[in-house]
Structure 1
Amino acid sequence: MHVLVVGTGAIAAAHLPTWISWVRAVQPEVDLRIMVTKSATRFVSAEALRVLGDCEVILDQWDCVPNHYRAFHVETAEWADATLVYPATMNFLTRFSIGMTDTPALLTLQCSEKPVVIAPSLPSGAAGSPLIAQHLTTLKERKHVTVLPTVSGFSVGTGERTPGAPVPFPQAWEELGQVWQRTVAT
């Protein structure tokens, strides 16, 4: 299975190197590519992901796409059997739901008809926002997109447990595998 992992700028991105190492340990046969948004690089090093994932890591900016791609978004959408967006910030969710295509990751996802699993990571107070609920509903209505529920987690902003944290990575990874298996079976 070819999996594209997209990491966005939530604090949970800091744990991606651990989880990518975990993927390599439990499913070494999976072929990975990783994209990280510029804001994710505040919390995680692309080099750490490249080394631990033994894979290509691309910063989600057009000027960072390697020259060996002729049409990165098309080639990546065709290559990936499934995509996991973990963690998915409010900004990324909103832009994805309204059809934005201004970054390589967003254009790839907008062009793909393969499974996309999204693990939202919402700031304190945003989990109950009607506007965010509308964007999540819009994404859930897409036939190939699965939006995972958020869980209660520690908020670095408030110092308290609040709703809006992404599900644990292993749970998101398991859901990705199940969604992909259903598409292969049909």
Structure 2
Amino acid sequence: MKVLVVCTGAIAAAHLPTWISWTRAAHQGVELRIVVTKSAARFVSVEALRVLGDCEVILDQWESIPSHYRAFHVEITAWADAVLVYPATRNFLTRFSVGMTDTPALLALQCGKKPIVVAPSLPSGIVETPLLAQHLATLLEMEHVSVLPTVSGFSVGTGEDSPGAPVPFPQAWEELCRLWQRPATV
């Protein structure tokens, strides 16, 4: 299986190197490519992801796309069997749901029909807002997209448990495998 992992700027991005290492050990036949948003790069080292994932890691900026790609969004969509967005910030969820294509990763997600699993990571107080519910409903209408529920977890913003933490990475990975193995509908 070939998986594109998109890492956005939630604090949970800091744990992604551990999960990428787990993926390489637990699922040895998997090929990875990772896209890291500019805001995620505040929390996670691109070099750590490259070394631990033994894969190409690209910053989600047009000027950062390696020159060997003629049309990144077309080539990465054709290459990947599935996409995992982990963690997915409120900003990324909103832009994805309204069809924004202002970054390489968003354009690729809009162009493909491969399975996409999204694991939201949301700030305290935003989980129950009507506008977020609309954006999530829009994503859930897309047949190839699975949006996982958030779970209770420690909020660095409040210092308390909050309902906006992303599901544990292995759970998101399990959903990705389930969707990828599901027969395509005609």
Whether TM-score is above 0.5 comes out as yes
- Matched length: 186
Instruction: After TM superposition, give the deviation of residue 138 of structure 1 in Å.
Output: 0.3
Counting only pairs closer than 5 Å after superposition, residues 145-160 of structure 1 correspond to structure 2 as: 145-160=145-160
SS at match of 2:182: helix
Counting only pairs closer than 5 Å after superposition, residues 71-150 of structure 1 correspond to structure 2 as: 71-150=71-150
Instruction: After TM superposition, give the deviation of residue 33 of structure 1 in Å.
Output: 0.2
Distance in 2 between residues matched to 1:133 and 1:45, nearest whole Å: 32
Distance in 2 between residues matched to 1:169 and 1:119, nearest whole Å: 9
Instruction: After TM superposition, give the deviation of residue 183 of structure 1 in Å.
Output: 3.4
Aligned to 2:61: 61
What's the CA shift string for 1:79-112, capped at 9, x where partnerless?
1000000000000000000000000000000001
Distance in 1 between residues matched to 2:184 and 2:25, nearest whole Å: 24
Please provide the CA RMSD for this pair.
1.1
Equivalent position amino acid for 1:115 in 2:
P
2:10 corresponds to 1:10: yes
Scaled by the length of structure 1, the TM-score of the pair is: 0.98
Counting only pairs closer than 5 Å after superposition, residues 142-181 of structure 1 correspond to structure 2 as: 142-181=142-181
Runs of 5+ unmatched residues, structure 1:
none
Equivalent position amino acid for 1:72 in 2:
F
Instruction: Name the % identity.
Output: 76
Equivalent position amino acid for 1:45 in 2:
S
What's the CA shift string for 1:126-168, capped at 9, x where partnerless?
0011000100000000010000000011000000001111000
Aligned to 2:32: 32
**Structure 1 residue ranges (4+ consecutive) displaced by more than 3 angstroms after TM superposition:** 183-186
Scaled by the length of structure 2, the TM-score of the pair is: 0.98
SS at match of 2:6: strand
Runs of 5+ unmatched residues, structure 2:
none
Equivalent position amino acid for 1:5 in 2:
V
